[in-house]
Structure 1
Amino acid sequence: MSVPAAGGGPDGPDVASPDDVGDGPAGTGGKPSGLRNPAAAVRGLGAGTLIIEAVVLLLAIQPIRLMGGQLSGAGVAVVVALAVWAVVVSGLMKRSWAWHAGTVLQVCLLLSGFLHWSLGALGVIFAATWGYATYVRRTILG
C-alpha cells in the first residue's frame, strides 16, 4: 500500500474534485468553477480589462496626432473622457450596473471611430475583449 504525498491524495495535490464542490455556479447543477470566490474573480477580470483599455487609450493619443491623424482638441478630450470613464467603472465593479456601464463605454469607443479610424479599430478590439469578459462572467456566475 502506498502513502499519498503530503498535502494531497492519490491524484496529487489538494484539488477540489467535482464531488467535493457544491452544485456549481449559482446552484444551477452545472460544472463547478473551482474558484474560491468566483464573483471576485469575475470582478477582477472586468476591472483589469477596463484598466488596460484606459492605458491603451491614453497611450494612443500621441501616436495618432504624430502620424498624420486629424485628432482635434475635442477628439483628445473624448479619448481622455473615455479613459477616465473606464477607470471609474473599473473601481465600481461591485455594483450590478457597472457591467452595463462598461458595455456602454465600448459602444461609445466604437462611435469615436468617426473622430479617427484608429479609435474605431480600438473600439472593435476592446468590444471583443469586453464581450469575452461578459461571456466568462455569464459562464462562471450563471
Structure 2
Amino acid sequence: MSAPEEDATPSESTPAAAPLRSGLKNPQAAVRGLGAGTLALEVIVLLLTIAPLAVIAGDRKGPAITAALVATVVAIVLAGSMKRNWAWTAGAVLQGLLLLGGFLHWTLAAVGVIFGLTWAYAMHVRRTILG
C-alpha cells in the first residue's frame, strides 16, 4: 500500500501570502545602521586619499583634494540623514559623482567604483530586509 498523498493546496488556516520576516527586532534601524556604517567607512577612505593626492596628483591636486573634501562632507551629512528615503538615492548619486571625479584623478574613480559596488550591495540588502 502506498502512503496517502498530501493535498497540494495549503490549508485554509495558513495565510496565503505571509510576509517574510527578517528576524530583526527593528529592521529599519538595522538598515539605517548599514547605510550609515557604509558611508562612515567611505569618509575614512576619502580622508585617507588626501595625502596621496597631494603627492601624486600633479597640477590637478587642488581640484582633486577639494572634490575629496566635498565628497567627505556630503557623506557625513548623508550618514546622519539615513532616516530619510532620499538619502539612499543621494548616496548612489555620490558614488556616481566620485566616478566622475576620475577626470580629476583616477583615485577618486577607484573610490567611486569600490564604494559604488558596496552601496549597490547595501541597497540590495535594504530591499531584501524591508521589502
Report the 3-state secondary structure (helix = DSSP H, G, I; strand = E; otherwise coil) of the residue aligned with 1:43.
helix
- Read off the aligned partner of 1:99 and give its amino acid letter: W
Name the counterpart of 1:125.
Answer: 114
Contact 2:32 2:82 (8 Å CA) reproduced: yes
Deviation digits for residues 51-106 of structure 1 (CA, Å, limit 9, x no counterpart): 1101100111102322x222421221111000000000100110121111111111
| Aligned-partner Cα distance in 1 for 2:57–2:67 | 15
Which residue of 67, 74, 79 maps to 2:68? 79
- Normalized per residue, the structure richer in helix is 2
Report the 3-state secondary structure (helix = DSSP H, G, I; strand = E; otherwise coil) of the residue aligned with 2:44.
helix
Q: Please tell me the root mean square deviation across aligned C-alpha atoms, in Å.
A: 1.5
User: Which structure is richer in relative contact order (CA contacts within 8 A, separation 6 or more)?
Assistant: 2
**How many residues are aligned here?**
115
Report the 3-state secondary structure (helix = DSSP H, G, I; strand = E; otherwise coil) of the residue aligned with 2:116.
helix
Name the counterpart of 1:104.
Answer: 93
**Percent same amino acid among aligned pairs?**
56
Mapped pair 1:41 → 2:18: no
Name the counterpart of 2:57.
Answer: 69
Structure 2: stretches of 5+ with no match in the other structure: 1-14
Give the structure-2-normalised TM-score. Answer: 0.82
Report the 3-state secondary structure (helix = DSSP H, G, I; strand = E; otherwise coil) of the residue aligned with 1:72.
helix
Structure 1: stretches of 5+ with no match in the other structure: 1-22
Contact 2:27 2:129 (8 Å CA) reproduced: yes
- Read off the aligned partner of 1:110 and give its amino acid letter: L
Q: Which has the larger radius of gyration?
A: 2
| Aligned-partner Cα distance in 2 for 1:64–1:75 | 7
Mapped pair 1:93 → 2:46: no
| Aligned-partner Cα distance in 1 for 2:82–2:52 | 31
